[in-house]
């Protein structure tokens, strides 16, 4: 029973949900300790202007930035909620909330921490920039609230009417605003401005490089779509295909002649701007193989995508899956898929459960080409399935078993 529940519930969600109460306990004891410091004011008997000015610079800066990050975190979730509400099932909203719960908890922890420390600093020492800090915090709160309320309305309007995702654009502008704010108003608030500029520029450039690079390599790029749209239907096999809802078994019945099955492996689609040339070569090579052999059925045995950024210049395993599904749908050739060791890398845009859901949305009921199972046998792994090849009289010709390699379980099969 437990193993069945674990298979249905994502491991990363279990991990995050387990960390939430841990973070809550840490927050409780930290706040309690800060309150004790506030009561004793143990440093107030030993004032040191330079030391307190440095503390003021550090924690006032952190407080304002964590306020900004809090807005970014909350409205990031709200935009994703709008996206799910418009394009997906309403039940997925709850899963999205739990996926973001740990992020909320971490942001709340650092925000509360810096609020308490800043309040304590202001209570034990008379800062000349106390009024300036209060004014800046109010401006940050009001400005961020106005920006994100308007942004959320614009995001909803474009997503609902134009199906245009403004998520990256809106968050990008806000991140630029955070950088500008740090280099102007927050810098003017600081006592030591010169050192602060170097520190901020170094941190901001490092974060921008890592986050911006990952976002760029993870985004959906549809550069190969014009070629995919031009692919003709070449399926001329006289086969019928049926699917058993209860067992998850697909049956291919050949009316005459021998079965012709083509195996493809390690296509390694990147789905990014920098992988476009290799993606086109891969798709054209696959088309030539299919056009020359005209198979009844195709099996892709893993690594359909290659979200390994340093090698493929892409972390995307969403768009390339949809593109290959469209490629095969245009050809009209039925196909099945097994997972390899690169389809759901830990740093890929989609995790294993999200990718599994994506394949199901592209499967037989909608495409009439992808033979991906909607139900699983009681075997560890994903996409374990049986495909029956039957003759025209209904007799069994071959039984094909597709078994997941479990490359991401961390358990060697020989140990089971």
List, as own/partner pairs, every contact residues 112-118 make where C-beta atoms lie below 8 angstroms and the sequence separation is at least 24, other chains included.
112/27, 112/30, 112/31, 113/30, 113/34, 114/59, 114/62, 114/63, 114/66, 115/63, 116/31, 116/34, 116/35, 116/38, 117/34, 117/59, 118/59, 118/60, 118/63
Model confidence at 5, pLDDT cuts 50, 70, 90, reads very low
CA neighbor of 405 nearest in space, from 352, 339, 347: 339
When pLDDT is averaged across residues 334-359 and rounded to a whole number, the result is 86
* Overall size of the chain counted in residues: 416
**270 vs 320: CA distance, rounded Å:** 7
What pLDDT shows up at residue 378? 79
What pLDDT shows up at residue 345? 80
H helices of 88-192, in order, are 92-124, 130-157, 167-183, 185-189
CA neighbor of 12 nearest in space, from 321, 354, 341: 354
Provide the 10 A C-beta neighbour count for residue 275: 25
Range of lowest pLDDT (26-30, 136-140, 177-181): 26-30
Provide the 10 A C-beta neighbour count for residue 382: 22
Q: Give the chain's mean pLDDT.
A: 79
Q: What is the pLDDT of residues 128-173, one digit of tens each?
A: 898 999 999 999 999 999 998 998 888 777 655 444 457 777 887 8
Say whether pLDDT at 262 is over 50: yes
> Among residues of the chain, what percentage have pLDDT more than 70?
74
H helices of 184-275, in order, are 185-189, 193-218, 225-229
Tokens of 102: 């740990």
Q: What is the pLDDT of residues 281-296, one digit of tens each?
A: 999 999 999 999 999 9
* Cα within 13 Å of Cα(62), Cβ side: 19
**80 vs 93: CA distance, rounded Å:** 8
CA neighbor of 207 nearest in space, from 176, 170, 185: 176
More confident position, 194 or 63: 63
Which residue has 């993606």 as its token pair? Answer: 279
Cβ-Cβ contacts under 8 Å for 379 (sequence gap 6 or more): 403
User: Contact 71/143 with Cβ under 8 angstroms?
Assistant: no
Model confidence at 104, pLDDT cuts 50, 70, 90, reads confident
Provide the 10 A C-beta neighbour count for residue 312: 23
**64 vs 179: CA distance, rounded Å:** 12
Say whether pLDDT at 85 is over 80: no
What pLDDT shows up at residue 14? 46
Cβ-Cβ contacts under 8 Å for 104 (sequence gap 6 or more): 73, 74, 77
Say whether pLDDT at 6 is over 80: no
Which residue has 């009561």 as its token pair? Answer: 39
User: Contact 256/392 with Cβ under 8 angstroms?
Assistant: yes
**371 vs 119: CA distance, rounded Å:** 61
Rounded to two decimals, what is the model's pTM?
A: 0.58
């Amino acid at each position: 029973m437990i193993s069945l529940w674990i298979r249905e519930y994502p491991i990363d969600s279990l991990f995050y949900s387990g960390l939430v109460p841990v973070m809550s306990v840490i927050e409780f004891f930290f706040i309690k300790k800060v309150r004790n410091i506030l009561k004793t004011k143990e440093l107030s008997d030993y004032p040191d202007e330079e030391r307190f000015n440095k503390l003021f610079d550090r924690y006032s800066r952190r407080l304002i930035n964590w306020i900004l990050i809090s807005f970014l975190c909350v409205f990031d979730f709200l935009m994703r909620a709008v996206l799910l509400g418009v394009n997906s099932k309403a039940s997925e909203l709850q899963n999205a909330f739990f996926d973001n719960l740990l992020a909320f908890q971490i942001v709340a922890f650092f925000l509360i921490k810096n609020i308490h420390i800043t309040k304590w600093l202001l209570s034990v020492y008379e800062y000349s920039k106390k009024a300036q800090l209060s004014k800046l915090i109010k401006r940050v709160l009001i400005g961020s609230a106005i920006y994100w309320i308007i942004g959320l309305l614009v995001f909803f309007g474009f997503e609902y009417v134009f199906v245009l995702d403004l998520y990256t654009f809106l968050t990008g502008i806000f991140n630029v605003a955070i950088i500008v704010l740090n280099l102007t108003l927050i810098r003017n608030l600081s006592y030591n401005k010169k050192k602060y500029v170097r520190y901020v520029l170094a941190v901001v450039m490092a974060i921008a490089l890592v986050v911006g690079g990952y976002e760029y390599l993870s985004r959906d790029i549809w550069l190969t779509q014009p070629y995919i749209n031009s692919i003709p239907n070449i399926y001329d096999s006289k086969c019928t295909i049926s699917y058993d809802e209860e067992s998850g078994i697909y049956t291919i019945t050949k009316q005459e002649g021998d079965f012709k099955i083509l195996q493809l492996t390690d296509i390694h689609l990147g789905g990014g701007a920098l992988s476009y040339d290799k993606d086109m070569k891969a798709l054209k090579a696959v088309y030539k193989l299919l056009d020359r052999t005209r198979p009844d059925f195709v099996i892709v045995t893993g690594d359909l995508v290659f979200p390994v950024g340093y090698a493929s210049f892409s972390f995307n395993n969403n768009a390339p899956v949809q593109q290959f599904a469209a490629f095969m749908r245009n050809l009209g050739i039925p196909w099945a898929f097994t997972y390899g060791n690169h389809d759901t890398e830990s740093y890929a845009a989609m995790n294993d459960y999200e990718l599994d859901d994506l394949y199901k949305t592209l499967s037989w009921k909608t495409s009439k080409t992808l033979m991906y199972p909607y139900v699983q046998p009681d075997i560890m792994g994903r996409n374990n399935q049986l495909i029956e090849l039957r003759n025209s009289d209904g007799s069994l010709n071959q039984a094909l078993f597709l078994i997941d390699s479990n490359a991401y379980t961390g358990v060697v099969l020989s140990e089971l």
